[in-house]
């Protein structure tokens, strides 16, 4: 069984299906094809610059697949859906890499991480992306338009590899229900972890809360990717631990 990193970017246009939704659909297609199990999707914010075309946020979407299937089968399912569902004006890119290959090559992993971090603050080119992908044995491909989405797709792989970047797509679900407009609720850390796919609850300084800690939760619950885990950030408001605000999450 292998762990594959899969990332897509630049699939949408104004008033069309978003990249996050398409990534979710690709993940479900892989599950439906019985290729394996997928992780939650992480959204990785990239550089906002006049020289970089983007629809609204310039973010890439990445997830993992645990599968014994070959890369080409995984890619073929992902590509078929990308081509069918991406907006006509989009420039979609797809990156796929086997994690064990990167663990066996620390230099390649470091280069991908560096590319991802630089793509958060610099303009990158397709040529740079393709050259790096070739060096690091990443399957990188474009599927329409200018194909510039390969830049973000490769950057998203690097950022996911850091274990310290990205928000989990959508809201945290508790017992299968999305917490989009959660009424004020008191729950322990233990009960939240048992009812969700979260790994931990942490304060805004990154410290893990004890399982018996009581949380005061409301509104949207947003998780982030930290220390290679999906965690719910909270902050202390008087005697209460509350889910982090939008401004507190902006660096993710």
Q: Can you give the C-alpha Rg of the chain in angstroms?
A: 18
The full set of domain ranges for the chain reads 2-165, 170-249
Number of residues that make up the chain: 252
pLDDT of residue 211: 95
pLDDT of residue 233: 97
Q: Which CATH architecture has domain 2-165?
A: 2-Layer Sandwich (3.30)
pLDDT along the chain (252 residues), means of 10: 94 71 96 97 84 66 97 97 86 96 96 97 95 97 91 98 95 86 93 96 94 94 96 93 88 72
By the 10 Å C-beta count (0-12 exposed, 13-18 middle, 19+ buried), 56 is classed as exposed
pLDDT digits (tens, 9 = 90+) for 103-117: 999 999 999 999 999
C-alpha span between 160 and 111 (Å, rounded): 13
By the 10 Å C-beta count (0-12 exposed, 13-18 middle, 19+ buried), 67 is classed as buried
pLDDT digits (tens, 9 = 90+) for 183-192: 999 999 999 9
pLDDT of residue 10: 76
pLDDT of residue 54: 54
pLDDT of residue 27: 98
pLDDT of residue 50: 63
pLDDT of residue 56: 52
Angle between helices 126-135 and 149-162 (to 10 degrees): 50
């Amino acid at each position: 069984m292998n762990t594959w990193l899969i990332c897509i970017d630049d699939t949408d246009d104004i008033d069309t299906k978003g990249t996050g939704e398409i990534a979710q659909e690709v993940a479900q297609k892989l599950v439906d094809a019985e290729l394996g199990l997928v992780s939650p999707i992480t959204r990785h914010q990239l550089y906002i610059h006049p020289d970089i075309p983007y629809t609204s946020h310039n973010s890439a979407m990445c997830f993992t697949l645990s599968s014994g299937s070959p890369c080409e089968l995984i890619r073929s399912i992902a590509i078929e859906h990308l081509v069918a569902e991406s907006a006509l004006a989009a420039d979609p890119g797809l990156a796929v890499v086997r994690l064990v290959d990167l663990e066996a090559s620390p230099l390649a992993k470091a280069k991908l991480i560096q590319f991802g971090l630089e793509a958060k603050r610099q303009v990158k080119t397709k040529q740079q992306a393709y050259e790096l992908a070739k060096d690091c044995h990443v399957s990188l491909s474009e599927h329409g338009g200018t194909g510039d989405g390969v830049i973000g797709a490769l950057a998203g792989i690097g950022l996911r590899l850091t274990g310290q970047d990205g928000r989990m797509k959508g809201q945290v679900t508790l017992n299968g229900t999305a917490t989009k407009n959660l009424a004020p609720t008191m729950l322990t850390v233990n009960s939240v972890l048992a009812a969700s796919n979260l790994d931990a609850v942490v304060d805004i300084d990154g410290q893990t809360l004890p399982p018996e800690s009581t949380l005061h939760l409301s509104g949207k619950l947003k998780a982030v990717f930290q220390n290679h885990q999906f965690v719910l950030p909270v902050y202390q408001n008087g005697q209460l631990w509350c889910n982090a605000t939008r401004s507190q999450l902006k660096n993710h």
